[in-house]
Amino acid sequence: MTRNMAPVDEQLFLLMSGVDYGDPGLRRAFEAELRYLLEQDRPLRVYLGIDPTATSLTLGHTVPLRKLRQFQDLGHETIFLIGDTTALIGDPSDKNKLRPQMTIDDVKENESSYFAQASKILDPKKTVVRHNSEWLGQLDLSDWIGLMSKFTVAEMLTRDNFRERQRRSDPIYLHEFLYALMQGYDARALECDVQVGATEQLFNLIAGRKLQEDAGQRKHVPITVPILVGIDGVMRMSKSTGNFIGLDEAPVEQYGKAMSIPDEVLANYFELATSLDRNEVATTIEGLAAGKLDPMTEKKRLARTIVTELHSEEAAAEAEAHFERTVQRREEPEEMPEVTIRSGQTLIDVIVEAGAAPSRREARRLLQQGAVTVDGQPITNSHELARIGSRVRVGKRRWLRITAAND
């Protein structure tokens, strides 16, 4: 049974915007395939898989999530796939070294809030949630042998990261080859029409097309989107490198991190990390490139947009006021987290326990750089004791008030 979907050209323009394959020929081919599917005037089955390799999603994850939301808004069937089995290996697509292996308990703990975070972008009422353990966990040895017989070692070694590791004589482990097969089997198990992923995952998506064809299914259309650079403006956004904006972070933290983004990657963020009208985004990017728009003004608009989309307009306004007061005017915030200390605790202990620094090493580095102040005075002594009643600033955005001792 067909439904009256939006006009094909209108859908195609939106769905192919921001899509990148790294090859014009591939884009033309996959766009033609997508057009063919859209002309059938039916809801397509579209999925995006994310492995729970960390406790929270980042702004980088919203890039493919926003693309999935576009399909959702156009009336297509959307599946949010939690890769609870693939996470046990870890996608080697973005790594030039072996990923640390996770345990089943690690995966379960990490995934506990994944869909809630993804629902900041997706409409939960229109989203089907699946786990790939539903089918991958049912495969026996003969199934795996059959899957592995579809691919050659030479095919696997065409991947850029594997080829680079081989060039450096770095080890490549057999279990890493399985990841593409597992993600490919996801597409086959879901019998999807479209799979959304990152540009670096194109190899895995192509593997899915091969397995679908082998099973007598129509090959799905890969829709791949670029990687969001981290707030350092250099490396890809990742929790492991610390250059991220977390979807579960407080509005003040998200706003402050967005304001630290280098001017030269503002266009990247407007295009990939917001749901602003595409024509408005294009005008902003052109204005920044031509020097007609003020980067600071646009950066504030970007930060407000990010917080508004992940929280609310009210939260964005409060976060902006906090930033202007504490960072631009260097005033103390009206409210700050209170920390209870034990007698004899050092300032480093308090900073780490309060979560203002991820480790003692990082807290010590911040002190040495003069990035920690107590009651307005820079502190560089790593043995400095915490003082009851003092106000501590860590970096530009973190504030703590030490209120009482608990002996």
* Two structure tokens written together for 301: 């608009």
- Helix or strand run (H / E) with residue 105: helix 104-111
SS3 340: strand
* Two structure tokens written together for 260: 């630290």
Rg (the chain; Cα; Å): 24
Tell me how far apart the terminal alpha carbons of the chain are, to the nearest angstrom: 71
User: CA 302, CA 67: separation in Å to the nearest integer?
Assistant: 19
Share of the chain above pLDDT 90, in %: 57
pLDDT above 90 for 98: no
Q: What is the pLDDT of residue 3?
A: 58
- What mean pLDDT value characterizes the chain? 88
Instruction: Tell me the residue length of the chain.
Output: 407
Domain ranges (residues) in the chain: 8-225, 251-328, 338-405
Greater pLDDT, 394 or 45: 45
Q: What is the pLDDT of residue 96?
A: 46
Q: Are 8-225 and 338-405 in the same CATH fold? A: no
How confident is the model over 333-371, as pLDDT tens digits?
A: 767 778 887 777 888 888 888 878 878 888 888 888 888
Classify the phi-psi angles of 18: left when phi > 0, otherwise alpha if psi is within -120 to 50, otherwise beta.
left
Residue 136 β-bridge partners: none
**DSSP secondary structure string, 373-384?**
EETTEE---TTP
How confident is the model over 185-208, as pLDDT tens digits?
A: 999 999 999 999 999 899 999 999
**Which residue type sits at 275?**
S
Greater pLDDT, 116 or 354: 116
Q: Order across the sheet with 77-82: list the strands.
A: 127-131, 77-82, 45-50, 194-198, 221-225
DSSP assignment, residue 274? -
User: CA 35, CA 194: separation in Å to the nearest integer?
Assistant: 12
**Which residue type sits at 201?**
Q
CATH superfamily for 8-225 is HUPs (3.40.50.620)
Q: So what CATH class is 338-405? A: alpha beta
pLDDT band at 302 (very low <50, low <70, confident <90, very high): very high
Range 251-328 classified under CATH 1.10.240.10: yes
Q: What is the pTM of this model?
A: 0.79
* Two structure tokens written together for 3: 């439904």
Handedness of CA 127, 200, 204, 165 (dihedral sign): negative
